[in-house]
Amino acid sequence: MEKQEAKGLGRRLVFVVYPFQGHINPMLELATILNSKGFSITIVHTEYNSPDHSKHPDFSFVSIPEGLSQTILSSGRDFATTFLAFNNNCEAPFQQYMEKLLEVENPQDRVACVVYDGLMHFAQVVADRVKLPGISLRTSAAATLLAFAVFPHPQEQGYISFQDSVCQAQVPELQTLMLKDLLVSMTEKPTTSLLEMRATVTNATKNASAIIVNTMHFLEEQTLKVVQKYFHAPIFTVGPFHKLAPAASTSLLEEDMSCISWLDKQEPKSVIYVSFGSVASMEEKELLEIAFGLANSEQPFLWVVRPGSVCGSEYVELLPKNFWESAGGRCCTVKWAPQKEVLAHDAVGGFWSHCGWNSILESVCEGVPMLCHPFFGDQGLGARYVCRVWKVGLELEGVLERGKIEKAIRTLMATTEGLEIIQRAKALKEKAELCLSEDGSSYNALNELAQHILSF
């Protein structure tokens, strides 16, 4: 992206990152976008999963201790408990940092506001205390703002009737994403930590001076209307960030570029790319079903097997000899891929994904149709959008089984049903391009966001 007019010159933005790949990527991309608008950037991050400072020489970085040992962080404690610990432990060091920063503030470099990942809600509390505006960044779909807000107690909050009436009367998109679909993104019996998490995140967002969502207006047009009624702060849909930001890599793992030369040798639109993101894990049994489903589909495939993502193994040691005999000539496995480049490659004809929101946006922008197998959290909601609202993918529901996988791949790559999905994916890509071009909704939202920040 070209350096735009320096509207934000003399104003600094303090970003607070949630330390996981699917959150680091969009936040650093947003920081890059706003830096190109002239704002100076400070990135506050935990010691855990620190981003690589050398890749962002224009930013200042500040590390705060999250106080959790590596053992606890990698022990598979539930997501909500780790989340609460981050918020409890980071608040005091962040407050100390902000007080010091404001004490020595240079009038030519004044802090305009704190932009925090919505899951780091302590940042809003600190922003309120030091009398700075806070902007909440949602790195997943706008619909998840609603899902967090109405659960844990949908019945008590009267949300069911609220949603039924709103859906039936005015919101066709939400008719498809009915309550049961929102529930997909929530565990059936939420733990106390999870309930606390949703409530605190929602309350912080209600206090925010603005909300930024990494989405495109046309993808969630009707949902956004409902979300805007619930949260009063202005919502800026400035996504997808990765298309507006230059391509500085924000990967925590090393990207294996050899898969690009492998893709160069494949036929156009022939390859299924398989990746389940940075967090999902599986048992050996699932690995084998995936492996033989892919092999039996007879389609070439590029498969990311993240180190440690299969219980009891480091990488692909559990794959048997007969798998390699059957698929070896048609497959490429890597530990971590340059995903955006892969999806933009002409050889890629489909993406089997866990439906993390970043993966969905990256796929939509390249017009790649998807096979969806959500693992947890917002991924269920993402899969519903892909398969039932935009209809650019097929859902692989239930337990993974090789026959089902083979059939789904063949349907996507070699049937009339698949062709229709491919055509819709192409049309969605064109809409995304319009949205990012001059006077498109994301382009305009970005300018409005910059103006909004300057009004603080």
Q: Is 377 in the site for ligand UDX (CB under 6 A)?
A: yes
Within 10 Å of residue 61's Cβ, how many Cβ atoms?
A: 16
Task: Identify which range of 85-93, 185-193, 194-202, 336-344 contacts ligand UDX by CB under 6 A.
Answer: 336-344
Task: Identify which range of 73-81, 211-219, 312-320, 356-364 contacts ligand UDX by CB under 6 A.
Answer: 356-364
CB of 445 closer than 8 Å to CB of 30: no
CB of 106 to ligand UDX, least distance (A): 35
Task: Identify which range of 81-89, 161-169, 204-212, 355-363 contacts ligand UDX by CB under 6 A.
Answer: 355-363
Of the residues 48, 241, 357, 390, which one makes contact with ligand UDX according to CB under 6 A: 357
Task: Identify which range of 85-93, 155-163, 229-237, 372-380 contacts ligand UDX by CB under 6 A.
Answer: 372-380
CB of 433 to ligand UDX, least distance (A): 19
CA distance linking residue 83 with residue 63, whole number of Å: 17
Q: Is 185 in the site for ligand UDX (CB under 6 A)?
A: no
* Positions 140 through 169 that interact with ligand UDX (CB under 6 A): 140
Q: Is 333 in the site for ligand UDX (CB under 6 A)?
A: no
Q: What is the 3-state secondary structure (H, E, C) of 38-55?
A: CCEEEEEEECCCCCCHHH
Phi/psi-derived region of residue 42, left when phi > 0, alpha when psi is between -120 and 50, beta in every other case: beta
Q: Is 309 in the site for ligand UDX (CB under 6 A)?
A: no
CB of 362 to ligand UDX, least distance (A): 5
Q: Is 344 in the site for ligand UDX (CB under 6 A)?
A: no
CB crowding 370-403: b at 16 or more within 10 Å, else e = bbbbbeebbbbbbbbbbbebbbbbbbbeeebebe
Q: Is 356 in the site for ligand UDX (CB under 6 A)?
A: yes
Number of residues that bind ligand UDX (CB under 6 A): 26
Task: Identify which range of 16-24, 220-228, 258-266, 394-402 contacts ligand UDX by CB under 6 A.
Answer: 16-24
CB of 147 to ligand UDX, least distance (A): 12
Of the residues 339, 350, 370, 412, which one makes contact with ligand UDX according to CB under 6 A: 339
Q: Is 275 in the site for ligand UDX (CB under 6 A)?
A: yes
Q: Which is nearer to ligand UDX, 139 or 223 (CB)?
A: 139
Q: Is 278 in the site for ligand UDX (CB under 6 A)?
A: yes
Of the residues 195, 199, 279, 282, which one makes contact with ligand UDX according to CB under 6 A: 279
Radius of gyration of the chain (CA): 22
Distances (CA, A) of 221 to 144, 216, 226: 14, 8, 9
CB of 280 to ligand UDX, least distance (A): 6
CB of 323 closer than 8 Å to CB of 295: yes
CA distance linking residue 215 with residue 239, whole number of Å: 4
CB of 307 closer than 8 Å to CB of 315: yes
Of the residues 46, 124, 266, 358, which one makes contact with ligand UDX according to CB under 6 A: 358
Q: Which of 219, 212, 235 is nearest to 26 (CA)?
A: 212
Q: Which is nearer to ligand UDX, 7 or 335 (CB)?
A: 335
Q: Is 414 in the site for ligand UDX (CB under 6 A)?
A: no
CA distance linking residue 175 with residue 171, whole number of Å: 6
Task: Identify which range of 62-70, 174-182, 374-382, 388-396 contacts ligand UDX by CB under 6 A.
Answer: 374-382
Secondary structure E strands in 49-100: 60-64
* Positions 212 through 251 that interact with ligand UDX (CB under 6 A): 251
34's tokens: 């706003």
User: 252 CB contacts (<8 Å, ≥6 apart)?
Assistant: 21, 24, 49, 51, 278
Secondary structure E strands in 105-189: 110-117, 134-138
CB of 47 closer than 8 Å to CB of 75: no
Q: Which residues bind to ligand UDX, rule: CB under 6 A?
A: 20-23, 25, 139-140, 251, 275, 277-280, 304, 336-337, 339-340, 356-359, 362, 377-379
